[in-house]
Amino acid sequence: MDTTETRTPATVAWEQGRGRLFGIAYRMLGDVGHAEDVVSEVGMAAVVAERESGQVRSWPAWLTTVGVRKSIDRARHLASIKEDYPGPWLPEPVATDALPEEAVANRELLSLTVLHLAEQLSPESRAALVLARAFDMPAEEIGRILDKSPAAVRQLISRATRRLDLDREVSAPADPRALQRLVDAIHSADLEATLRALLADDAVYWSDGGGKAASAVNPIFGAEKIVRFLAGVLTPEDLDGRHMSEILEVNGGIALAVLRDGDTRVLEIELGTDGLIRGLRQVNNPDKLGHVRGV
């Protein structure tokens, strides 16, 4: 059996850094399978590089550079695929305790909400933001990875931060009480009035069925339209509470999981600082729910 002593420096560095590599790739791609593929590709590339040259000053830096660049390439490829995706695309939720420790040491840029918003950014901007904010990497080091000057990197980070409103006090993480209020509203006798009271006027609802589960074809904008839509699709079983729901730790935060007729759905809400719901993101696509535990 292999031991650390018999492994090459590249293999040892990859084994030690694979959790961090996954954390970077997942934040950039929002997809567990693709992130795992990136990590595997980096490991294979390291073996080849070590065999061909062996002249690598710092394997951790080399692995990070190759991982980021492969994630950028894959993000560009996925962008073209997502253009044909049936309905809204949402990131794949992952139970927090199923993520590598290195991936959740800093939980910034890990929530479904932020991963979804980050789709607005170019892959390079996303990489700069992830490395700086989630992994505390200085602009000089990021510049070497992206082949950009430190000034250009700082500009990428600044623009990405403003675009995602990361430094503005406009939203807050959901808490169990907020999710319970939503569950109570759905089960209340006066669904429409109770649910409407929880939503900000400009709330948005996204649901991702991937063409495999019933979902809204387009995002639904505005509290009134969201209430009408949910009131129209919820069944008597939903309303009388016969379907099981529970609060899960997902992506470093919490979400609501609903088990309905054997199918799991995961809903993350985004709160404004006034306590009203600004965003609802519901993942119904069964292909994206294999890494959510507890349901």
Domains, the chain, with CATH or none: 4-163 (1.20.140), 176-288 (3.10.450.50)
In whole angstroms, what is the distance from residue 148 CA to residue 16 CA? 27
Closest CA to 226 of 245, 190, 208, 202: 202
Q: What is the pLDDT of residue 106?
A: 87
Nearest-5° angle of CA 195, CA 198, CA 204? Answer: 90
The count of C-alpha atoms lying within 13 angstroms of the C-alpha of 93, restricted to the half-sphere facing its C-beta, is 28
Q: What is the pLDDT of residue 5?
A: 53
- The pair phi, psi for residue 54, each rounded to 5°, is 70, -5
Q: pLDDT tens track of the chain, all 295 residues? A: 344 456 899 999 999 999 999 999 999 999 999 999 999 999 999 999 998 876 788 999 999 999 999 999 999 999 999 999 999 999 999 999 999 999 988 888 999 999 999 999 999 999 999 999 999 999 999 999 999 999 999 999 999 999 988 766 445 567 888 998 998 888 887 889 999 999 999 999 999 999 999 899 999 999 999 999 988 887 656 555 556 678 889 999 999 988 766 778 899 999 988 899 999 999 999 999 999 965 4
Q: What is the pLDDT of residues 206-251, one digit of tens each?
A: 999 999 998 999 999 999 999 999 888 876 565 555 566 788 899 9
CB-based contact 24:142 (threshold 8 Å): no
Task: Copy the structure tokens of residue 159.
Answer: 């623009």
In whole angstroms, what is the distance from residue 266 CA to residue 255 CA? 7
Give the number of residues written for the chain: 295
Q: What is the pLDDT of residue 4?
A: 46
CB-based contact 281:268 (threshold 8 Å): yes
Q: What is the 3-state secondary structure (H, E, C) of 89-107?
A: CCCCCCEHHHCCHHHHCCC
Q: What is the pLDDT of residue 236?
A: 57
Helix ranges (H only) for 30-87 are 32-52, 59-82
* DSSP 3-state of 249: strand
Task: Copy the structure tokens of residue 127.
Answer: 């990489």
Q: What is the pLDDT of residue 237?
A: 60
Task: Copy the structure tokens of residue 10.
Answer: 């590249």
